[in-house]
Chain A
Amino acid sequence: GIQVEQSPPDLILQEGANSTLRCNFSDSVNNLQWFHQNPWGQLINLFYIPSGTKQNGRLSATTVATERYSLLYISSSQTTDSGVYFCGFVGTASKLTFGTGTRLQVTL
């Protein structure tokens, strides 16, 4: 099956810093999504981005399907951005396959 790798696995930032999270996949994928899992466990949708670039406030995402990667940009990070960020795609059997996750901690 298609493998999904996220980097970095862990990231510590000071409030106000910018960061880039990366999602690499081993083959062409559809329906790529980015999620933020908050400390209570809920997966919050950030972007549904099979290709191209989208922006939502301080967050933006770019997927280059032909080169098999997606990037999530966080600008001016805040403590509320802390948590785990997952990318995921829909492959066979209609299932979302998740990456390994990036654990982000934003400190004051």
Chain B
Amino acid sequence: ETGVTQSPTHLIKTRGQQVTLRCSSQSGHNTVSWYQQALGQGPQFIFQYYREEENGRGNFPPRFSGLQFPNYSSELNVNALELDDSALYLCASSLLAGFGEAFFGQGTRLTVV
């Protein structure tokens, strides 16, 4: 059984650029959620995908978008990067949307300069 994997682990981007972060869900899981964690704070929910459809969204602007593929892997895209987007981005997978235990990847640390 493979765990949740994220890529890349670290990334540096310039303000105004676009970035794509990737997540492979744990084997057998059909739900992927993305979280943003700023330094010194708890993770904040961005959105969730269940069977390739968005299934809930947090308080993030539309320039944060996502995608889930038929194999349940997922991408997080952020357009027009701002300095405040610098954070640790965490992906979690679970078997059932809204239920069941969530398992997290190791995260992608994004720095916007």
Contacts and interface: CB of A to CB of B under 8 A. Distances in A.
A41 B43 contact: no
Contact of B88 (A41, A94, A99): A41
Interface of A: 30-31, 33, 35, 40-45, 48, 86, 90, 92-101
Nearest to A43: B104
A41 B106 contact: yes
Nearest to B57: A93
Contacts of A98: 42-43
B95 to A, nearest CB: 12
B42 A95 contact: no
B56 interface: yes
Nearest to A31: B99
B99 A86 contact: no
A44 B104 CA distance: 7
Contact of B56 (A30, A35, A93, A101): A93
Given A40-B106, A94-B98, 16 more contacts: A30-B99, A31-B100, A35-B104, A41-B90, A86-B42, A86-B43, A90-B98, A90-B99, A92-B56, A94-B48, A94-B56, A95-B45, A95-B58, A96-B45, A96-B102, A100-B42
